[in-house]
Each structure stands twice: as structure tokens, then as C-alpha cells.
Amino acid sequence: MSKIEKVLATGKTHTTISSTGTTSRGHNGSVDIQLSSPGNAKPAHVFAGTQPHPAAEQLFAGAWSACYTAAVGLVAGEMNVVLPSDFSVDIEVDLGQTGPAYFLQARLTLRVPGLAHDVATTLAHTADQICPYSKATRGNIDVALNVLTA
């Protein structure tokens, strides 16, 4: 797997869970999406306030964050862990170049304030193992997984 020498563009999303569903927002306001997971009827996928031409990296980050957030919820349930009401996922996807070749790389940050760091780390890595987007990228792009509990 090649490392990116020069980042050309970055798509960033911040995904939160609330009583009305999952929301993913782009860092520059270009994407504001209400997301849902299979088997969860509320809310349906809604593109609200989307400005023209959000970056492909931002759309990929938003879709990945919806999938990863659902995986975190599934794993938390299996581990009997109560997620904090303000837990969130930040995903950054870079498009970059090494020589003449183009590559992607990503950073995932699970924010679970107040959760024990070892529990949060197990939760993050187990969710990464079951998330289909994480599986699709594993071994194909450089991915860093971070956990914040403060």
C-alpha cells in the first residue's frame, strides 16, 4: 500500500446520533445528510442544504460514517455498553498523489466522552471489523483509527 506524498483534497464529515436519527455534516457546510441504516425506518436518506458539487471524498466519508456509526451501535449492544448521548464519528478522506499515481487515505475518529478508553478502543476496532466500508478499504488504502474519550 502506497503512502500519499501530496494531499490534493480532503472530504470531512462529522456524524452524530440523536433521537431523530443520524446526521452527517460536511466540514464546509456542503453536505448535510439525514442517514439511516438497513432495518431503521427513520429517517430516510435526506439531502438537506446540499450545495452544488460536494467533493466525492466528502460523500464517501459521509456514507462510510453512517455505516461505521451503525456498526458502533451494534457492537455497543453486543458488549452491553451504553453509548454517551453525545457520541460522534469524524471521518476525513484524502485524495492524494505519490509520483504520478493517485490514492485515497482516511482517518476515523470515534468520540465517546466519558467511556473508559480501553472499552472505547475495543468498541472502535470491533466496529471497524464489521463495517462493510471498513472491510472494503482494508488493505486498499491507508486508514488511521483514533479514539477520544475526553
- Please, which residues bridge with residue 32 across strands? 25
Sequence-ordered list of residues with C-beta below 8 angstroms from that of 41, at least 6 positions apart, any chain: none
Instruction: Band the pLDDT of 3: cuts 50, 70, 90.
Output: confident
Rounded mean pLDDT, 46-72: 76
Q: Are residues 38 and 91 in the same domain?
A: no
**Which residue has better confidence, 41 or 10?**
10
Sequence-ordered list of residues with C-beta below 8 angstroms from that of 136, at least 6 positions apart, any chain: none
Q: Are residues 62 and 135 in the same domain?
A: yes
Q: Are residues 88 and 119 in the same domain?
A: yes
The total number of structural domains that make up the chain: 2
Q: What is the largest CA-CA distance in the chain?
A: 48
Q: Residue 87: which domain range?
A: 53-148
Q: Are residues 15 and 61 in the same domain?
A: no
Q: Taking the model in full, what pTM does it have? A: 0.78
Alpha-carbon 63 to chain mean position: 7
Can you give the pLDDT at residue 44? 41
